[in-house]
Amino acid sequence: MKKKKIIAANFKMNKTHVEVREYLKSFFKKLKEFSRTFNAGDVNGNKENGSDSGSSRKSASLGAAGAEIIFAPSFTALNEAYNIIEENFEFRNIVKLASQNVYCESSGAYTGEISIDMIKAFSCSYAIIGHSERRWIFNESEELIAKKISAILNYNKKIETDICNACDNNAEKHSAKFAAITPILCVGENLEIRKSGKAFDFVAAQLNSALNCYTKNLNVGTEQNKDEFRLTKNAKSLKNNHDEGNIGAFASNIDTEKLIIAYEPIWAIGTGASIEPEDGEKMHKFIYEYLTDNYDIKNFSVIYGGSVTEKNINFLMEKNHIDGVLVGGASLDPQSFFNIYSFAVSK
């Protein structure tokens, strides 16, 4: 089965909550029209035999489901973004929210930080971890990034336990409470490392450090990792066997170890000098093989970030191992980001 494409917008430190409101209103207007034409089988906007008929909810679920759209506004705009997405409820299955960061502690004297519970309050489905600007400007260490990933994974495992303990069979009531957070882990090398020919080794080291809390591949792990693997398998089996009523069916659809890797060559971010698609494909293929060989993560995607624009999206999305994009500067204009989305879905 082909993976759903991921088209993510990282607003960084841009846009007030008022500006985000106007942005999303404009974007959803474009998305509704695109959904109708896409569902009619013509993404170029030519209507076919009364293709405007039918509910927007139907066209949204059928036409626009070729990709998941993720918005990562600033923390102060999460509430506004959440409200706009709720107003456009027919697209809630494909338009999601992400936090640009999250801290590894649940609460406490950590001035300026934000917790997992805080972003969950706005129905965030994703959290960006280890972005190059956090690493290089704010000196986030590999150790701290690993702690953040571990905090999310532990949070999700608690959700897994809570699902098994739920007994009122009302899955809809629990859907927000039991929603897992998927980390978007950013990795990538600077220009000096790339020129030295050590880019693959550097990215592998970043992955190995950040993902040490994930279950290792049983065939290559240590005895301790093998024990952890068996415990995780037993927990998953317990969850899948808990099939009483709606909660059991709901539980089997929750993936608490889902992961997105965003490969972002630092030398390409914000410079306009995007990587050659062939070189991007080589790194993405390497990441795929590294994760498959070393970890037991069944559901992961690898997306590209680094001067993604309307001009290069088609070339990037043609590659087999590029599952989507993390867009920075080009996402700040709703028309530009919508074009990137529509081009990606139309491939």
Q: Please tell me whether residue 88 adopts helix, strand or coil conformation.
A: coil
pLDDT at 169: 53
If one counts every other C-beta atom within 10 angstroms of the C-beta of residue 273, the result is: 12
pLDDT at 2: 65
CA distances 197 to 189, 280, 305, Å, are 11, 14, 20
Span 130-174, pLDDT tens digits? 999 999 999 999 999 999 999 999 999 888 777 777 655 554 545
Tokens coding 42: 């013509």
The phi, psi pair for 97, rounded to 5°, reads -105, 145
* Stretch among 46-55, 150-159, 181-190, 210-219 having the lowest mean pLDDT: 46-55
d(CA 167, CA 240): 15
Report which residue type is found at 143.
E
d(CA 318, CA 239): 37
> Dihedral through CA 99, CA 105, CA 110, CA 116, nearest 10?
30
Diameter of the chain measured on Cα atoms: 63
- Taking residues 334-344, what's their average pLDDT? 95
CA distances 255 to 157, 239, 240, 307, 313, Å, are 10, 11, 11, 31, 29
Report which residue type is found at 242.
H
Q: In the structure, what pLDDT confidence band is assigned to residue 269 with cuts at 50, 70 and 90?
A: confident
If one counts every other C-beta atom within 10 angstroms of the C-beta of residue 182, the result is: 24
Span 198-245, pLDDT tens digits? 999 999 999 999 998 887 765 544 444 444 444 444 444 444 444 444
Please report which helix (H) or strand (E) contains residue 184, including its range: strand 182-187
Report which residue type is found at 111.
T
Which are the catalytic amino acids?
131, 264
Name all domains of the chain by residue range, CATH numbers in brackets: 5-346 (3.20.20.70)
Our measurement of the distance from residue 103's CA atom to the centroid of its chain's CA atoms, rounded to an integer in Å, reads 17
